C-alpha cells in the first residue's frame, strides 16, 4: 500500500479518486518541523501540499523514501523543484484546475472596486441607519466596466481566463507576456456556441499607459513587476488587482499611489508578508481585501484533487 500525505488538505473527490486507485491517503496536518520525522516513520511516498507547507532541499535529503511531491495549484515557489527532480523525485502540479476561480475573484474585486462595495460594506453597518443619505452620496459615482480597457500582465492560463471574462463583459483587452507575441482565445457560451479572439501582445509601457484597470498574473518574482516607475506611467485613477503572488507589486509605492489618487482602488488577494499583511494595507479604505482565496472554490478544489490523483496513478502504476 502506497502512503500519500495530503498535508494542506485535499478535496473529498481527490481522496475518493486516490482510494479508488488503491492508495492510502492521510489528511493529517503535520507541522513543518515534524514533517521529516513523520514522512520517514509513516513510510510516506507522496506528499501533497498547497501554499502552506514548504518542501526544501533539507527535507528532500532527509526523506529518501519520497517518490512524488505534488502541489495543488500553480505556483511551486514553496518547493525546491529542480533539486527534487535531480534526486529522481517527480514534482507535479495542477496548472489548469484553478484558473477560472482566480479569474472570477479578479472580477469580484473589480466590480466591488468600481461600485465601492469594499467601503460600503465596512460603513453601512456603522452608519447605514444614521447617515444613509451621506453614504448614498459618497458611493454614487461608480463606473461601469463595459467599454473600459483592462491590461493583463502575464498571459498564461489565468491571464487568459481573466481575458475571457473581460471580453464577455464588453471590455477592451490589452495583454503583456514575456513569452508570447500573439495568441488566440476562444470564448465558449451556452448551447455550444463559441467565438475566437486574436489577442496581440502589447509592450508593458503601452499597457500601463492605456489601461483603465490592471490585473497581474505572473509567478513569484525576484523584483517588483509594478514599482514606482510603473505607477508613474499609469493613467490617473487606474484600478489594480493582484491575485497572483505577494511581491509582484511594491506595496509601499501602492499605498502612496492610492494616497495621491494615481490609483483609485486596489484589490489584493496576495501580500508580501503573508500570513501577516501590513496593517497599512489592511486598514486602507481604498483596498478590497481577500486572504489568498483565489483558487479556493469547491469546483477548483475538486479539479485539483482529481488531477493530482490521475497524475499520481499514472506515475506509480
Residues 79 and 159 in one domain: no
* Contact criterion met (CB below 8 Å) for 312 and 24: no
Residues 33 and 104 in one domain: no
Average pLDDT of the segment spanning 17-41: 95
Average pLDDT of the segment spanning 167-178: 97
Residues 178 and 153 in one domain: yes
Parallel, antiparallel or unpaired: strands 263-268 and 287-289: parallel
Residues 216 and 115 in one domain: yes
pLDDT category of residue 232 using cuts at 50, 70 and 90: very high
Structural domain span for residue 185:
99-289
User: CATH number, domain at 183?
Assistant: 3.40.50.720
* Contact criterion met (CB below 8 Å) for 245 and 251: no
pLDDT category of residue 204 using cuts at 50, 70 and 90: very high
**203 CB neighbour count, 10 Å cutoff:** 10
Using the Cα atoms of residue 212, residue 218, residue 220 and residue 221 in order, give the sign of their dihedral: negative
Residues 154 and 191 in one domain: yes
Residues 148 and 284 in one domain: yes
Residues 104 and 90 in one domain: no
Task: Give the max Cα distance, the chain.
Answer: 66
Residues 31 and 125 in one domain: no
Q: Which residues are catalytic?
A: 245, 274, 292
pLDDT at 265 over 90: yes
**265 CB neighbour count, 10 Å cutoff:** 24
Residues 182 and 221 in one domain: yes
Residues 48 and 144 in one domain: no
CB proximity list for 15: less than 8 A, separation 6 or greater: 6, 25, 27, 305
pLDDT in tens, 50-101: 988 999 999 999 999 999 999 998 889 999 999 999 999 999 999 889 999 9
Residues 83 and 136 in one domain: no
Residues 227 and 143 in one domain: yes
Q: How many domains does the chain have?
A: 2
Amino acid at each position: 500500500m502506497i502512503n500519500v500525505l495530503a498535508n494542506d488538505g485535499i478535496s473529498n473527490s481527490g481522496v475518493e479518486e486516490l482510494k479508488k486507485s488503491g492508495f492510502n491517503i492521510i489528511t493529517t496536518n503535520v507541522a513543518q518541523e515534524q514533517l521529516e520525522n513523520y514522512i520517514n516513520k509513516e513510510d510516506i511516498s507522496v506528499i501533497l501540499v498547497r501554499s502552506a507547507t514548504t518542501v526544501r532541499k533539507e527535507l528532500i535529503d532527509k526523506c529518501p523514501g519520497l517518490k512524488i511531491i505534488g502541489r495543488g495549484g500553480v505556483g511551486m515557489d514553496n518547493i525546491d523543484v529542480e533539486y527534487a527532480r535531480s534526486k529522481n523525485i517527480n514534482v507535479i502540479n495542477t496548472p489548469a484546475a484553478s484558473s477560472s476561480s482566480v479569474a472570477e475573484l479578479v472580477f469580484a474585486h473589480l466590480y466591488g472596486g468600481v461600485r465601492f462595495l469594499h467601503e460600503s460594506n465596512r460603513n453601512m453597518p456603522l452608519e447605514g441607519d444614521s447617515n444613509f443619505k451621506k453614504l448614498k452620496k459618497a458611493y454614487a459615482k461608480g463606473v461601469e466596466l463595459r467599454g473600459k480597457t483592462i491590461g493583463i500582465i502575464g498571459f498564461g492560463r489565468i491571464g487568459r481566463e481573466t481575458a475571457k471574462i473581460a471580453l464577455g463583459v464588453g471590455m477592451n483587452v490589452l495583454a503583456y507576456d514575456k513569452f508570447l507575441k500573439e495568441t488566440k482565445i476562444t470564448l465558449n457560451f451556452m448551447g455550444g456556441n463559441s467565438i475566437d479572439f486574436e489577442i496581440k501582445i502589447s509592450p508593458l509601457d503601452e499597457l500601463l499607459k492605456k489601461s483603465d484597470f490592471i490585473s497581474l498574473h505572473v509567478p513569484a518574482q525576484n523584483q517588483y513587476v509594478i514599482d514606482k516607475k510603473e505607477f508613474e506611467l499609469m493613467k490617473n485613477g487606474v484600478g489594480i488587482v493582484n491575485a497572483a503572488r505577494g511581491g509582484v507589486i511594491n506595496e509601499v509605492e501602492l499605498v502612496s499611489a492610492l494616497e495621491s489618487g494615481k490609483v483609485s482602488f486596489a484589490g489584493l488577494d496576495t501580500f508580501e508578508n503573508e500570513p501577516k499583511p501590513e496593517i497599512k494595507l489592511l486598514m486602507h479604505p481604498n483596498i478590497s481585501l481577500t486572504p489568498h482565496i483565489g483558487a479556493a472554490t469547491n469546483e477548483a478544489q475538486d479539479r485539483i484533487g482529481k488531477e493530482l490523483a490521475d497524475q499520481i496513478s499514472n506515475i506509480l502504476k
